[in-house]
Amino acid sequence: MAVSINSGGDQLLCVSDTILHPIHLEYPGWCAAVDIDAAQVEASRKEILDKASTEEAMVMAFHFPFPGLGYITSKKDVWKWQPIEINQ
């Protein structure tokens, strides 16, 4: 499941447990032990990755390293994670 939150032209895409690790951007077909249907997992990930990159949505991926907020860019079927910068 993923949730899209929109306000004033901005979008936040919460990917929840759909994308568990940044490696899934490079290998969306890799599954966790808890994934029951590998083909559906891969299809769902690709759909969400396409949406995030095409719509330039900010992504909240709470399983990713802090801060877990960033953007997903794509070239063909390869996606890259670009975390936002936090000034500490």
Beta carbons of 71 and 79 less than 8 angstroms apart: no
Q: Which residue carries 């995030």 as its tokens?
A: 52
pLDDT number for residue 28: 93
CA 13 – CA 71 distance, rounded (Å): 10
pLDDT number for residue 77: 73
pLDDT number for residue 66: 92
Per-residue pLDDT of the chain (88 residues; tens, 9 = 90+): 789 999 999 999 999 889 999 999 999 999 988 889 999 999 999 999 999 999 999 999 999 999 999 999 998 778 999 999 988 6
For the chain, what are the domain ranges?
3-83
